[in-house]
Amino acid sequence: MSVTSCPNIRWGIIGPGRIAHRFAGAFSAINDGELYAVASRNKERLAAFADQFGIPHRYTDYESILADPNVDAIYIATPHRFHFDLAKQALESGKAVLCEKPLTVNSAQSRALFEIAKQNDVFLMEALWSRFLPAWQQIKQWLNDGDIGEVVSMHSSFGFKAERNADDRLFNLELAGGALLDTGVYNIAMSDFVMGQAPDTIQSDVLVGATGVDERCNVTLSFGDVRSEFTCSFLEALPNEFRIVGSDGQIIAESNFWELDSVQLTKKDGSEQCFSFPHLSNGFEYQVMEVHHCLRIGKRASDNVSPEFTIRNMAVMDAILAQAGVRYPFLEYETTV
């Protein structure tokens, strides 16, 4: 698929739920792309979403949107369980794919998707939008410049009190629910953003609820002498900050760290630097801009949210869930004798 000569990259959306509203809203800041089509099996939700965002083409099945020759890229925002199958179909249809985090429910599925993307010569990226935010780019610059010295530790949380409903996707094991894949993915992703590598060891204390999903995870990731400690939870509201402690100071990404628009650096001598980076729209626009940039120059993957990063991220979550004994009934697991 080539879009280098196309004035607007035409997007199709699969799954017009809450997160898709944020994706669509970001297009108020996009000048080289358009919301062209949307697909949902729920006719009422489909109509309401398409009307709200002025999307002209509406499909009540996924096959039709993937067969539409005018759709250049697909954004997938369904529950986690369905990411792999839908992304696979989209890639095999020759569509560029931006799929909500987590890309899949385990690292094996992620590896398989990137291989399918390679075989079909199409773009694939996990929608970990936080890594593109200007405030996090400022954090990266401070780290690269050594402004807090050597990184010593990281401390973060992502927690909220969810209404307990066994049928809701958050608590539904059949839909790959649980706190780790839904919220902890951000703690892991931004720890990786700081370190740029997989942890050496992973220690976790996971509370598994009555429906079989992880409801709270307390995790320590060790990167040599550097530790990242985080909690993700559906059981309580948490500070939702990300603190990076260095030998000469610290960086504080205040709540909510995953949608950061301001950041503070404090040196050991008490001096401070504070920067504010108001979003052009709602923050999702930066990952859309990354996809457009890659497509325009013929890249099949992002350097920031790369295949290697996504697979590393998924492997960490695999290990945490395995330690907790969380197993999704729709997956096949290897057994040892």
pLDDT tens track, the chain, 337 positions: 455 555 799 999 999 999 999 999 999 999 999 999 999 999 999 999 999 999 999 999 999 999 999 999 999 999 999 999 999 999 999 999 999 999 999 999 999 999 999 999 999 999 999 999 999 999 999 999 999 999 999 999 999 999 998 889 999 999 999 999 999 999 999 999 999 999 999 999 999 999 999 999 999 999 999 999 999 999 999 999 999 999 999 999 999 999 999 999 999 999 999 999 999 999 999 999 999 999 999 999 999 999 999 999 999 999 999 999 999 999 987 644 3
What confidence score (pLDDT) does residue 337 get?
A: 37
Q: What are residue 219's DSSP bridge partners?
A: 204, 230
Domains of the chain: 9-127 (3.40.50.720), 134-270+315-324 (3.30.360.10)
- The closest alpha carbon to 61, from 89, 99, 35, belongs to 89
To the question of pTM greater than 0.85 for the whole model, the response is: yes
Residue 166, pLDDT score: 84
Residue type, 184: G
Query: Residue 201 phi/psi, 5° resolution?
Result: -140, 155
pLDDT value at residue 3: 59
- List, as one string, the DSSP characters of 10-52: EEEEE--SHHHHHHHHGGGG-SSEEEEEEE-S-HHHHHHHHHH
Rounded CA-CA distance 111/253 in Å is: 31
In angstroms, rounded to a whole number, what is the distance separating the alpha carbons of residues 248 and 257?
22
